[in-house]
Chain A
Amino acid sequence: MNPTPAILAENLVKRYPVFRGFRDLVRRPFERRTTTALDGLDLRVERGRVFCLLGPNGAGKTTLIKILATLVLPDGGRASVDGHDVERHPGPVKNTVGYAINDERSFYWRLTGRQNLEFFGALYGLRGPARDRRIDEVLRLTRLEAAADLRFNSYSTGMRQMLAFARALLADASILLVDEPTRSLDPQAADRIGSFLRGELVEGKGKTVFWATHDLAEAAEFAHEIAVIGRGRIRLQGTVASLTGEGRTSLRQVYEKAVDDPPVSR
C-alpha cells in the first residue's frame, strides 16, 4: 500500500487582493488590501476514498481545489498531490489530478461530446488508437455512449456534468477533484452522480475523489470521510459516524457548530 497521502496541505495560506476604486487608489496608491481565503489550513486525505469537503459559501473550498489543480498559487505553507508539490512541480500534479470543472462553458458547445474529448485527450498527451479506446472507455463509464456524437449544446445539465467527469478521467488520473458537481441538478441526477463517484470511480477503479460541497445529505450518503472548512481552516475531520457519535447527534448540528466556532488558535 502506498503510504503517501493522496492530498496533503500544511499551514496553507491564500490571500486575494481586494478590488479598489479609483479614489482609493489615488489616495493610498501603495496600500495593499487583501481578503483571506485560506488561513493556515492543514489537511490529509488518504487514497481510495470519497472525501467530502463541506463548508458554507466563501469558506475556501474552491480556492483549495484550484490550488490543488495548480490554477492558483498559495501565499504560504505547502500543498502536495500524490507527493508532488503543487507549486514546485505542477507538471506531475497535472498528470495525477483530474479536475472536473463544473462550468458548462468550459466545453466547446458547437462540437460533439466526442470531438470535445478528442481535443482534450490530445492535450493530455493521448494519440491515435489509444486515445480513441480511452474515449470509448470514459464514455462507457459515464454512460454517454449514445450521446457521444451529439453536439454539446444539445446536452442536458446532467449530461454536461457527466462529460466533465469523462474529460477529467481521460488521463486516467488517480485523484479526481470535483467542485459542487450536483449544483443545479434534480435529485435523481444528483443521486446518479453520487453513486457514480463512489461506486464506479472509488470502489470500482480505486480512485480518490475530493468532493467540495455544501450539501450535507449527499456528503452523509456518499463520503467515506468528511472535513468541515470554515473561515479558511479545517474545523473538524473524520467519518460521518465518528463525527456524529454514531448517530447520537445530527451531521447538521455538528456542521453548524463547526462553522460557527471562532478560529482555532495555532
Chain B
Amino acid sequence: MSCRSRTMTLLPGRLSAFLLRDFREALTYKFSFISSFVGILLSSATFYFVAKLVPSGTPSLGPFGGDYFSFAVVGVAFSSLLGMFQEGLPAVVRGAQVSGTLEALLVTPSSIPTVLFGSSLYSVLLQVFRTLLHLGVALAFFGMTFGRVNGPGVLSVGVLTVLCFLSVGILSASFILVYKTGSPFGWILGTVSGLLGGVVFPVALLPPWIRWVSSLLPVTYALDGMRKSLLASAGFAEVLPDIAALAVFNIILLPASLLAFRMAVRKAKKDGTLSHF
C-alpha cells in the first residue's frame, strides 16, 4: 500500500480519535457543556421579543419572507456557525501552543492538516448541532416558519460558504503559527461582518456610502443566499448571484490560504518557534 493511500485509510480513525478526545474532555467540564445549550434557548427568546417591535411586512425584509424573527434566527445561527469555521482553526493552533500539546501532536506521523482539522472537528460539529438546535427551538417554541425550502440552493450556498470560511480560518491559523497571537483576518472579518454583513438587520438599511463594504464580505452573500433559499421560497436562479460571488471568493481564498499555511509551517520550523506562544 502506498504511503498516500495508507494515510487516507487511516484518516477516519485519526479524525474519530480527535472527536473522542474532545468529547471525553468536554464531559469532564459538565457545567460548561450544559450551559452552552441553555444559551441557545435564551438567544431565541431574546430575538422573539425583539421581533415583536418590528412590524411584519417591513419592506427591507420583503426579499427574505417578511418576518424579522426568522430573519434574525437564520442570521445569528448561521453567522455563529461561520464564525466557528473561521475561528476554529486558529483557536486550535493557539490552544495547542499554550497548553503544550502541539509538539506532541506534530511528532506523530499524522500530517499537520490532519492535526488541525481533527482538532477543530469537535467544535465545528458541536456548532453545527447548535445551529440545528437553534433553528429547531425557533421552529418548535417561537413560531418560526420556513418557506418552500430550495434544497440545491441551501446545499450550494452552504458548501461554498464553508470552504470560504475555512480558507479564512486557514489564513488565521497561518498567522498564529508565525506571530502567535491576534490574527487580523478573523478579527476584521468577524467584527466587520457582524455590523455590515446583514446578520441581524438587512444590508439594505445601511447608508449607501458604506453599503459597498458589505459587497466585499463573504458573509453577506452566504446569509443572503441562505435566507432566500430557506425563508423566501426563492428558486435556484434567484440565488445564483450569491453562489457566483461565493465561488469567486473561493477561487481567491482557498489557494492563497493553503500556500500561506505551507509557508507559515516552514517559517515556524525554520525559526524554531512551532510550539512557542
Seen from chain A, the residues whose Cβ lies within 8 Å of a Cβ on chain B are 14, 16-17, 37, 63, 66, 69-73, 75, 91, 94-95, 97, 99, 101, 103, 105-108, 110-111, 115, 118-125, 127, 167, 171
Of the candidates B20, B25, B109, the one whose C-beta lies within 8 Å of that of A123 is: B109
- Report the 9 A-B pairs with minimum CB-CB distance, sorted nearest first: A105-B100, A122-B17, A123-B108, A106-B104, A110-B28, A73-B269, A94-B109, A123-B110, A119-B21
Q: Contact: A106 with B100, CB < 8 Å?
A: yes
Whole-angstrom distance between the alpha carbons of A77 and B18 in the complex? 37
Whole-angstrom distance between the alpha carbons of A95 and B272 in the complex? 21
- Residues on A with beta carbons closer than 8 Å to the beta carbon of B16: 122
Q: Contact: B104 with A120, CB < 8 Å?
A: yes
B13 at the interface (CB under 8 A from A): yes
Beta-carbon nearest neighbor of B96 in chain A? A106
Q: Contact: B107 with A69, CB < 8 Å?
A: yes
The 22 listed contacts between A and B (C-beta, < 8 Å) are: A14-B272, A17-B271, A70-B106, A70-B107, A71-B106, A95-B109, A101-B107, A105-B99, A107-B104, A108-B21, A108-B25, A108-B101, A118-B17, A119-B18, A119-B21, A120-B108, A121-B17, A122-B14, A123-B17, A124-B108, A124-B109, A127-B10
- Residues on A with beta carbons closer than 8 Å to the beta carbon of B103: 71, 99, 101, 103, 106
- Residues on A with beta carbons closer than 8 Å to the beta carbon of B17: 118-119, 121-123
- Residues on B with beta carbons closer than 8 Å to the beta carbon of A122: 13-14, 16-17
Whole-angstrom distance between the alpha carbons of A95 and B109 in the complex? 6
Q: Contact: B274 with A99, CB < 8 Å?
A: no
Whole-angstrom distance between the alpha carbons of A37 and B3 in the complex? 34
Q: How far is the CB of A186 from the nearest CB of chain B, in Å?
A: 23
Whole-angstrom distance between the alpha carbons of A111 and B22 in the complex? 10
Q: Contact: A103 with B100, CB < 8 Å?
A: yes
Q: How far is the CB of A50 from the nearest CB of chain B, in Å?
A: 21
Of the candidates B10, B21, B24, B274, the one whose C-beta lies within 8 Å of that of A72 is: B274
- Residues on A with beta carbons closer than 8 Å to the beta carbon of B274: 71-72
Whole-angstrom distance between the alpha carbons of A16 and B268 in the complex? 11
Name B174-232 residues within 8 Å CB distance of A.
none
Q: Take A118-B17, A123-B14 as given contacts and tell me if A105 and B101 are in contact as well, using a CB distance cutoff of 8 Å.
A: yes
- Residues on A with beta carbons closer than 8 Å to the beta carbon of B21: 108, 111, 115, 119
- Residues on A with beta carbons closer than 8 Å to the beta carbon of B110: 123
Q: Contact: B25 with A111, CB < 8 Å?
A: yes
Q: Contact: B101 with A63, CB < 8 Å?
A: no
Q: How far is the CB of A104 from the nearest CB of chain B, in Å?
A: 8
Beta-carbon nearest neighbor of A72 in chain B? B272
Name B1-53 residues within 8 Å CB distance of A.
3, 6, 10, 13-14, 16-18, 20-21, 24-25, 28-29
Of the candidates B10, B25, B275, the one whose C-beta lies within 8 Å of that of A71 is: B275
- Residues on B with beta carbons closer than 8 Å to the beta carbon of A66: 272
Q: How far is the CB of A88 from the nearest CB of chain B, in Å?
A: 13
Q: How far is the CB of B114 from the nearest CB of chain A, in Å?
A: 8
B105 at the interface (CB under 8 A from A): yes
Q: How far is the CB of A149 from the nearest CB of chain B, in Å?
A: 13
Identify the interface centre among A17, A75, A127, A167: most chain B CB within 10 Å of its CB: A127
Beta-carbon nearest neighbor of A17 in chain B? B271
Whole-angstrom distance between the alpha carbons of A91 and B110 in the complex? 9
Q: Contact: B272 with A16, CB < 8 Å?
A: yes
Q: Take A94-B107, A119-B17, A127-B13 as given contacts and tell me if A75 and B101 are in contact as well, using a CB distance cutoff of 8 Å.
A: no
Q: Contact: B107 with A171, CB < 8 Å?
A: no
Q: Take A72-B272, A111-B21, A119-B21 as given contacts and tell me if A167 and B104 are in contact as well, using a CB distance cutoff of 8 Å.
A: yes
B266 at the interface (CB under 8 A from A): yes
Q: Contact: B20 with A119, CB < 8 Å?
A: yes
Annotate B252-277 by CB proximity to A: 1 below 8 A, 0 otherwise: 00000000000000100111101100
- Contacts A71-B275, A101-B107, A122-B14 supplied; 19 other A-B pairs, CB < 8 Å: A63-B272, A66-B272, A70-B106, A75-B270, A101-B103, A103-B100, A105-B100, A106-B100, A106-B104, A108-B21, A108-B101, A115-B24, A118-B17, A120-B104, A121-B17, A122-B13, A122-B17, A123-B105, A125-B14
- Residues on A with beta carbons closer than 8 Å to the beta carbon of B105: 123
Whole-angstrom distance between the alpha carbons of A115 and B275 in the complex? 23
